[in-house]
Structure 1
Amino acid sequence: MPYRYVVPTPRKQPLALWLAATLTLVCSVPSWALEAPAKLQVPTLAYDDQQIILVWEKPADHADISDYRVYANGVLLGGSNANNDRVSPAKPYIDRFYEQDVAGFHHRIGIHSYTAQGLRPDTAYRFTVRSVGTDGKESADSQAVVQRTSKVAAVFDVRKYGAKGDGKSLDTLAIQNAIDACTPGCKVLLPRGTYKSGALYLKSNITVEIAEGATLLGSERAEDYPLAGYIQYPYSSTVRPASLINALPRDPRQHQSFENIRIVGKGTIDGNGWKRRADVVDERGQPLPFYLPSDNTRYQQDGILAKAQVEQAVARGMNVKDAYGQMRSSLITLRNVKNVFYGGFTVVNPAFHGIMNLETENVVLANTTHKTYDANNGDGIEFANSKGAMVFNNFFDTGDDCVNFAAGTGAEAVQQKPQEDAWIFNNYFRKGHGMVVAGSHTGAWIQNILAEDNVSDGTDAGLRMKSTNFMGGGARNVIFRDSAIRNTLKQAFIFTLDYNDPNAKLDYQRSTIPGQFRDIRVADVSVENAQGKAIEVKGDSQHNAWHQGLVFERVRFSGPAKAQIDGLKDSLFDHVSFSGHGAANPWQITGSVGLTFKDVQPPPP
Structure 2
Amino acid sequence: MPYARPLLTTLAISCSLPLWAKEPPTKLQVPTLAYDDQQIILVWEKPADHADITDYHVYANGKLLGGSNANNGQVSPAKPYIDRFYQQDTRNFHHRIAIHSYTAQGLAPDTEYRFTVRSVGRDGKESADSPVITQRTTAVPALFDVKQYGAKGDGRALDTVAIQRAIDACTAGCKVLLPAGTYKSGSLYLKSNMTLEIAEGATLLGSERAEDYPRQGYIQYPYSTTVRPASLINALPRDPRKHQAFENIRIVGKGVIDGNGWKRHADVLDERGQALPFYLPSDNTRYLQDGLLAKAQVERAVAEGMNVKDAYGQMRSSLVTLRNVTNVFYGGFTVLNPAYHGIMNLETENVVLANTTHKTYDANNGDGIEFANSRGSMVFNNFFDTGDDCVNFAAGTGADAVRQKPQEDAWIFNNYFRKGHGMVVAGSHTGAWIQNILAEDNVSDGTDTGLRMKSTNFMGGGARNVVFRDSSMRNTVKQAFIFTLDYNDPNAKLDYQKSTIAGQFRDVRVSDVTVENAQLAAIEVKGDSLHGAYHQGLAFERVRFSGPAKVKIDGLQGSRFEAVHFSEAGTGNPWQVGSSEGLVFKDVRPAPEPAHSL
Bin for the TM-score computed over the shorter chain = over 0.9
- Aligned residue for 1:318, secondary structure, equals coil
Work out whether residues 30 and 139 of structure 1, in 8 Å CA contact, stay in contact via their aligned partners in 2.
Answer: no
Structure 2 residue aligned with 1:306 = 294
How many angstroms does 1:369 deviate by? 0.1
In 1, Cα distance between equivalents of 2:354 and 2:19:
32
Structure 2 residue aligned with 1:565 = 553
Which amino acid is 1:446 matched to? I
- Offset from partner CA, 1:237-278 (integer Å, 9 cap, x none): 000000000000000000000000000000000000000000
Structure 1 residue aligned with 2:227 = 239
Structure 1 residue aligned with 2:67 = 79
Work out whether residues 548 and 570 of structure 2, in 8 Å CA contact, stay in contact via their aligned partners in 1.
Answer: no
How many angstroms does 1:581 deviate by? 2.3
In 2, Cα distance between equivalents of 1:582 and 1:177:
64
In 2, Cα distance between equivalents of 1:486 and 1:569:
29
Which amino acid is 1:171 matched to? D
Q: 2:154 aligns with which of 166, 172, 181?
A: 166
In 1, Cα distance between equivalents of 2:396 and 2:76:
33
- Aligned residue for 2:418, secondary structure, equals strand
- Aligned residue for 1:431, secondary structure, equals coil
Which amino acid is 2:300 matched to? Q
Gap regions ≥5 residues in structure 1: 1-27
Q: 1:317 aligns with which of 305, 319, 323?
A: 305
User: Counterparts in 2 of 1:16-55, with a 5 A limit?
Assistant: 33-55=21-43
Structure 1 residue aligned with 2:6 = none
Q: 1:467 aligns with which of 445, 455, 469?
A: 455
In 1, Cα distance between equivalents of 2:318 and 2:495:
20
In 2, Cα distance between equivalents of 1:358 and 1:583:
47
Work out whether residues 369 and 396 of structure 1, in 8 Å CA contact, stay in contact via their aligned partners in 2.
Answer: yes
- Aligned residue for 1:174, secondary structure, equals helix
In 1, Cα distance between equivalents of 2:536 and 2:397:
21
In 1, Cα distance between equivalents of 2:18 and 2:81:
36
- Offset from partner CA, 1:535-554 (integer Å, 9 cap, x none): 00000111010000000000
Q: Under a length normalisation based on structure 1, what TM-score does the superposition of the two structures give? A: 0.95
- Offset from partner CA, 1:174-221 (integer Å, 9 cap, x none): 000000000000000000000000000000000000000000000000
In 2, Cα distance between equivalents of 1:283 and 1:63:
29
User: Counterparts in 2 of 1:570-585, with a 5 A limit?
Assistant: 570-585=558-573
User: Counterparts in 2 of 1:372-391, with a 5 A limit?
Assistant: 372-391=360-379
In 2, Cα distance between equivalents of 1:29 and 1:140:
8
Which amino acid is 1:71 matched to? Y
In 2, Cα distance between equivalents of 1:582 and 1:298:
40
How many angstroms does 1:30 deviate by? 7.7
Structure 2 residue aligned with 1:19 = none
The structure-2 alpha-carbon separation of the partners of 1:53 and 1:31, relative to structure 1 and needing over 3 Å to count, comes to farther
Q: 2:86 aligns with which of 98, 102, 105?
A: 98
Residue 120 of structure 2 corresponds to residue 132 of structure 1: yes
Which amino acid is 2:469 matched to? R
- Aligned residue for 2:450, secondary structure, equals strand
In 1, Cα distance between equivalents of 2:370 and 2:205:
21
- Offset from partner CA, 1:471-509 (integer Å, 9 cap, x none): 000000000000000000000000000000000000000
Residue 164 of structure 2 corresponds to residue 180 of structure 1: no
In 2, Cα distance between equivalents of 1:597 and 1:31:
35
Which amino acid is 1:540 matched to? D
Which amino acid is 2:363 matched to? A
Structure 2 residue aligned with 1:494 = 482
- Aligned residue for 1:180, secondary structure, equals helix
How many angstroms does 1:584 deviate by? 1.1
Which amino acid is 1:213 matched to? G
Work out whether residues 185 and 205 of structure 2, in 8 Å CA contact, stay in contact via their aligned partners in 1.
Answer: yes
- Aligned residue for 1:461, secondary structure, equals coil
The structure-2 alpha-carbon separation of the partners of 1:30 and 1:45, relative to structure 1 and needing over 3 Å to count, comes to farther
Structure 1 residue aligned with 2:331 = 343
Q: 1:597 aligns with which of 566, 585, 590?
A: 585
Structure 2 residue aligned with 1:438 = 426
User: Counterparts in 2 of 1:102-501, with a 5 A limit?
Assistant: 102-501=90-489
- Offset from partner CA, 1:139-182 (integer Å, 9 cap, x none): 00001100000000000000000000000000000000000000
In 2, Cα distance between equivalents of 1:566 and 1:359:
34
How many angstroms does 1:596 deviate by? 0.1
In 2, Cα distance between equivalents of 1:64 and 1:107:
13
How many angstroms does 1:32 deviate by? 5.3
Work out whether residues 467 and 515 of structure 1, in 8 Å CA contact, stay in contact via their aligned partners in 2.
Answer: yes
How many angstroms does 1:97 deviate by? 0.1
Structure 2 residue aligned with 1:531 = 519
- Offset from partner CA, 1:1-41 (integer Å, 9 cap, x none): xxxxxxxxxxxxxxxxxxxxxxxxxxx99885200000000
In 2, Cα distance between equivalents of 1:126 and 1:30:
25
In 2, Cα distance between equivalents of 1:73 and 1:288:
41
Which amino acid is 1:502 matched to? P
Work out whether residues 30 and 140 of structure 1, in 8 Å CA contact, stay in contact via their aligned partners in 2.
Answer: no
Work out whether residues 32 and 138 of structure 1, in 8 Å CA contact, stay in contact via their aligned partners in 2.
Answer: no
How many angstroms does 1:225 deviate by? 0.3
Structure 2 residue aligned with 1:554 = 542
Work out whether residues 179 and 202 of structure 1, in 8 Å CA contact, stay in contact via their aligned partners in 2.
Answer: yes
Stretches of 4+ aligned residues off by more than 6 angstroms: 28-31
Work out whether residues 335 and 360 of structure 1, in 8 Å CA contact, stay in contact via their aligned partners in 2.
Answer: yes
Q: Identity, % of aligned pairs?
A: 84
In 2, Cα distance between equivalents of 1:60 and 1:564:
32
In 2, Cα distance between equivalents of 1:30 and 1:411:
57
Work out whether residues 31 and 139 of structure 1, in 8 Å CA contact, stay in contact via their aligned partners in 2.
Answer: no
Q: Number of matched residues?
A: 578
- Offset from partner CA, 1:73-130 (integer Å, 9 cap, x none): 0000000000001000000000000000000000000000000000000000000000
- Offset from partner CA, 1:387-439 (integer Å, 9 cap, x none): 00000000000000000000000000000000000000000000000000000
Provide the aligned C-alpha RMSD in A: 0.8
In 2, Cα distance between equivalents of 1:464 and 1:230:
27
In 2, Cα distance between equivalents of 1:40 and 1:291:
40
